[in-house]
Amino acid sequence: MQIGSIKIDIPILLAPMAGVTDYPFRVLCKEQGAGVVYSEFVSAHGIIRENIKTWQMIRFTDFERPIGIQIFGDSPEVMGKAARMVVDKFSPDILDINYGCPVPKVTKRGAGSAALRDLCLMDDITTAVVESVSEVPVTVKMRAGWDSKSIVVPEVGPRLEKIGVKAITLHPRTTKERYKGSANWSLIKALKESVSIPVIGNGDVKEPKDVIRMFEETDCDGVMIGRSALGNPWFFKEAIAIYKGESLPVSPNINERAEKCLSHLNQMVEFHGERVGINLMRKHYGWYIRGFNGASAIRKALVTASDKDEMVDILETIN
């Protein structure tokens, strides 16, 4: 798959996930073979204010390339300016616009998937970003529409392509559905049939074999992995093996899962500092520590641990 001038050898990508796809998690997924990784979504207003926490969310290393930085906002002027600042300061490979977030605190401000209710605003925001960073491929991640009565997929695709968007990722649920029900993969196929740029499918890819099924059923160019990678960066290695027609690697045992969790903890503390790092890590324990006898008690102990040393001691007892 090629996005603008960026050649992607493995079209299996890590989705941008708020509060999850920070530097440590992206590195873990990249180590397992993710073809592209994305930052968690970053506020355009925070970028132009040069907020320190916002800059921290964007920081990345060359090891992560190709990497996409995803931004969101409700103003063409602010989005264009923010895109320019991100490219000038960080030089990402891809700049992605979020038209997919269904969370009310984002949509109430007119950002995220709220843009799908006002396609003229969506056009203006997209144009502002594309024109401000003409040397970097701009992509879009979107939902199918605001609700079941306003599916915009076939209409939006050609509009975005005409503006200059180089690829579109579609999560084929509506804003109102959030993460309930089933993702309608037929809409990914409909989008693919309406444009000539790459289309990346996302949604309900629960097992590595689902990656191949999505390719076959939708004719999409790439598949983006979200929640299935939580506590399971090995998902990429397994999916890539199936994609290449190779034997599946042996699934990690309990000890290996604990070791990876410990590595994740160490990277979180190194990147964020101990106080913030251990607090952010607490949610990851629910994803890593599961599926074996005593997992619930260990998970509870990790979540309630007071410092890193206590967390390390608990993880080192798992075997």
Domain assignments of the chain as residue spans, ordered by start: 2-243, 254-316
Dump pLDDT digits (tens) for 179-221: 888 999 999 999 999 999 999 999 999 999 999 999 999 999 9
Rounded Cα distance, 112 and 79, in Å: 12
pLDDT at 110: 84
Domain 2-243, CATH: 3.20.20.70
Rounded Cα distance, 310 and 319, in Å: 17
Which residues make Cβ contacts (< 8 Å) with residue 167, sequence separation at least 6? 1, 3, 137, 139, 140, 197, 198, 199, 200, 221, 222
Dump pLDDT digits (tens) for 122-150: 999 999 999 999 999 999 999 999 998 99
Q: Classify strands 42-43 and 67-72 as parallel, antiparallel or unpaired.
A: parallel
What are 37's two structure tokens?
Answer: 């990784």
70 membership: H or E segment, kind and range: strand 67-72
pTM over 0.85: yes
Confidence of residue 319 (pLDDT cuts 50, 70, 90): confident
Mean pLDDT confidence for 12-28: 97
Rounded Cα distance, 165 and 33, in Å: 26
Dump pLDDT digits (tens) for 66-120: 999 999 999 999 999 999 999 999 999 999 999 988 888 899 888 888 899 999 9
Per-residue pLDDT at 235 exceeds 90:
yes
Helical ranges in 62-178 per DSSP H: 76-90, 104-107, 119-132, 153-163
The position carrying tokens 């998937």 is: 113
Q: What backbone phi and psi angles, to 5 degrees, belong to 51?
A: -65, 130
The verdict on whether 101 is a catalytic residue reads: yes
pLDDT at 53: 92
Rounded Cα distance, 213 and 169, in Å: 17
Residues of 206-232 as b/e, b for ≥16 C-beta within 10 angstroms?
A: eebebbeebbeebebbbbbbbbbbbbb
Q: How many residues does the chain have?
A: 319
pLDDT at 105: 87
- What whole-number percentage of the chain has pLDDT above 70? 100
Q: Which of 29, 101, 220, 261 is catalytic?
A: 101
